[in-house]
Amino acid sequence: MASNFVRVRDNLGSIYTRFWTSETAVMVTMALLVGLGGGFGAVVFRWLINTFQRFFFDTLGEWLSFMGPYYVIVVPAAGGLLVGPMIYFLAREAKGHGVPEVMEAVALRGGRIRPIVVVVKSLASSICIGSGGSVGREGPIVQIGSALGSTIGQLLHLSDQRIRNLVACGAAAGIAATFNAPIAGVMFALEIILAEFGLMQFTTVVVASVTASVIGRIYFGDVPAFPIPPYAPASVWELPIYALLGVVAAFVGVGFTRILYWFEDLFEAWRFPEYLKPVAGGLLMGLMGFWLPDLFGVGYGAIEAVLHNQLVLSTVALLAVLKILATSITIGSGGSGGVFAPSLFIGSMLGGVFGLMVHQWMPEGTAVPAAYALVGMSAVFAAAARAPITSILILFEMTQDYRIILPLMLSTVISTVVARHLYRESIYTLKLKRRGIDVYAGKNLNLMRTILVGEAMTPIDQMVTVTPDTPLTELARIFDETHHHGLVVLDEKGELYGVVTLADLERAASEQLMAGKVRDICTTRVRTAFPDETLEDALRHFGALDVGRIPVVDRANPRRVVGLLRRGDIIRAYSQAYIDEQARLTHMERVQLQHRLGVHIVEIPLRDGDGAVGRTLQELHIPPKCVIASIRRGGRVLIPRGHTRLEAGDVIIALVTEDGEEALRACLTNGGGNHTS
């Protein structure tokens, strides 16, 4: 009996040892813990929002009853009075919409997020939303869940790779619990936070998302976030109209992104105490909310109204425009909250306007306007976030209606593609790009896919061309003087006629045909390329035809030559792209190292009158506890050098220690100091 007990104990011990030495078992267990934390975190966060909302609009409303209905104007400002100092003095990472900060932690710090962010982000965002700030709750809950995952990983002294994995688990858990959307939570974490799809990442993120979703359903119920009446496309002929909605949504999504960061720059350049700027933004928000209360908070009530066809065209259009301004002011002034709910709000209003207009035009051949509102929600968020898979899945899960899936997919994909052509950065990556941080550096392994033919080709004004009537003796002289091996032949209209090579001329000379003209020996059936093709596509032409040069023509007019692509052009473009990629990687490694040393990022705008304007970095004697990471000048991000001369309007992005920020600000304001570089 005793021997059987010993044998069972030894077997259990062996299983236990193998379990805890298995990476999969350990990470799944950790993901389960993160899922529990993210699920309960979402419950607490939503409770905080409701609590502060009752305080600001009920209790504070009673205290300000002497103002009558006008008291709502000062409510968001009162919230800003609490949020501004809390963020400024306790956790700067809690400012804004949260997701870029998580992406930055994954890219630069091995997923390490300070534990205090959980507390500050929860309070700041719940106060901001509860007091009427026009922001969403998805960004905060993603940052809260990610910070929980990061904290668990740091407490257990896990590797950077495992901590990054747990950060993604926390993000998925937050989305899943908050919106009852476990599949979309998984895709959000993989598509946006990690930007990679590995088996281990997928496994752990699914575990965390499912766990958090179960907790969310226990507390919030297993109901869709947006209950909608049944509707579907009237016919397949309606799909082109949804495609057009996708194009319009792309412009709106990109416009929302640009306006949001324009307001951030505006408030950043304002000479005013940073911790009081949310008060000013709150006053502006209060004025708009007084006239249109639907602008307050996450705005789900207005979304449900448009999904049930309860709003008129003028109101829907006005809400779409003002929501962009309200969210941009709230976040730009220093508020804390997400952009997901505002994107859904804007998309639903855009789709509502589009649907109302289309339905008036074709009442029998189109679905009800609310169907377009639903599709618009996904299309605008996809255009802003460049996350089409997440957008499609989250709208499907939030409505639990499969009948609208075809137009939803079509419009979302089109909006993403068009938005990427309009503007490269998403609403999440732009914030980091402006700091000189490329979260995807090194992930584009095939550089040929990143270079367009138009960027590598020799343009038409730098080309040597001939006509069909050029004598072969003249052609021989041109080849001898230019050392080219092939030339483009243009007709009397300046359009493509063909290509003539040195081999063609040598063949004519051997056959004693030198009395002829170029038209007698040139090739008229020529393979061409377009400027918007990638070099990878162009290389297939070279390999298939064994040619050394390809004319580049205008896509709208395939006879109009705009340049010439040679093998040498491809080699030079690839070499420059490789150098640029290595420079980005080196820059990112330097920034990562500085983060490991315990510094944080600050952004300092230079204005007319600052002493640093007109001086080089070497002349300024930057304090030793500060490193200038990059300089944002207009739409460009510059890698700083000692000879880089600063200009008014530049935004200095620096890595500083806690006591080095004031020294750097003083150095830039006064134009130097007694520091040594």
List own/partner pairs for 524-530 with CB under 8 A and 24 or more apart. Answer: 524/497, 524/498, 525/498, 526/496, 526/498, 526/499, 526/550, 526/551, 528/496, 528/552, 528/553, 528/558, 529/453, 529/553, 529/565, 530/453, 530/554, 530/555
pLDDT tens-digit profile of 538-581?
776 655 455 678 899 988 888 899 998 887 787 777 767 666 65
Q: Which amino acid is at 395?
A: L
Whether pLDDT at 677 is above 50? no
Q: Given this model, what pLDDT does residue 652 score?
A: 87
Q: Given this model, what pLDDT does residue 36 score?
A: 92
User: Containing H/E element for 634?
Assistant: none
Nearest Cα residue to 382 out of 349, 401, 410: 410
Q: What is the residue-averaged pLDDT of the chain?
A: 82
Between 155 and 601, the more confident residue is 155
Residue-level length of the chain: 677
Whether pLDDT at 675 is above 50? no
Q: What are the DSSP calls for 170-205, one per residue? A: HHHHHHHHHHT-HHHHHHHIIIIII----HHHHHHH
Lowest mean pLDDT among 45-59, 153-167, 471-485: 153-167
One-letter-per-residue 3-state SS of 375-437: HHHHHHHHHHHCCHHHHHHHHHHHHCCCCCHHHHHHHHHHHHHHHHHHCCCCCCHHHHHCCCC
Nearest Cα residue to 671 out of 637, 635, 650, 646: 646
Whether pLDDT at 9 is above 90? no
Q: How far is CA 189 from CA 25, 115, 164, 549, in A?
A: 20, 20, 11, 44
Confidence of residue 676 (pLDDT cuts 50, 70, 90): very low
Whether pLDDT at 595 is above 60? no
Q: End-to-end CA distance of the chain, in Å?
A: 76
Residues contacting 601, CB < 8 A, separation 6+: 435, 629, 653, 654, 655
Whether pLDDT at 283 is above 90? yes
* Order of strands across the sheet that contains 486-490: 465-466, 486-490, 496-501
- pTM for the predicted model, two decimal places: 0.69
Partners of residue 523 on adjacent β-strands: 499
Burial of 446 (0-12, 13-18, 19+ CB in 10 A): exposed
User: Containing H/E element for 137?
Assistant: none
Q: Which amino acid is at 667?
A: C
Burial of 308 (0-12, 13-18, 19+ CB in 10 A): middle
Please report the domains of the chain, with CATH numbers, ordered by start residue: 22-220 (1.10.3080.10), 236-433 (1.10.3080.10), 448-572 (3.10.580.10), 597-670 (3.30.70.1450)
Q: Hey, what are 423's tokens?
A: 């503007």
pLDDT tens-digit profile of 94-137?
787 778 888 877 777 777 888 888 888 889 999 999 999 999 88
φ, ψ for residue 504, nearest 5 deg: -60, -45
Rounded Cα distance, 336 and 87, in Å: 9
DSSP for residue 534: B
Rounded Cα distance, 113 and 163, in Å: 10
DSSP for residue 59: I
Confidence of residue 638 (pLDDT cuts 50, 70, 90): confident
Rounded Cα distance, 456 and 371, in Å: 45
Pairing mode, if any, of strands 651-656 and 626-633? antiparallel
Q: What are the DSSP calls for 342-372, one per residue? A: HHHHHHHHHHHHHHHHHHHH-TTTS--HHHH
Nearest Cα residue to 374 out of 242, 257, 251: 242
Lowest mean pLDDT among 254-263, 275-284, 356-365, 450-459: 356-365
Q: How many CB atoms lie within 10 A of CB 276?
A: 16
Q: What are the DSSP calls for 424-481, one per residue? A: SS-TTHHHHHTTT--TTTTT---GGGT-BHHHHSEEGGG--EE-TT-BHHHHHHHHHH
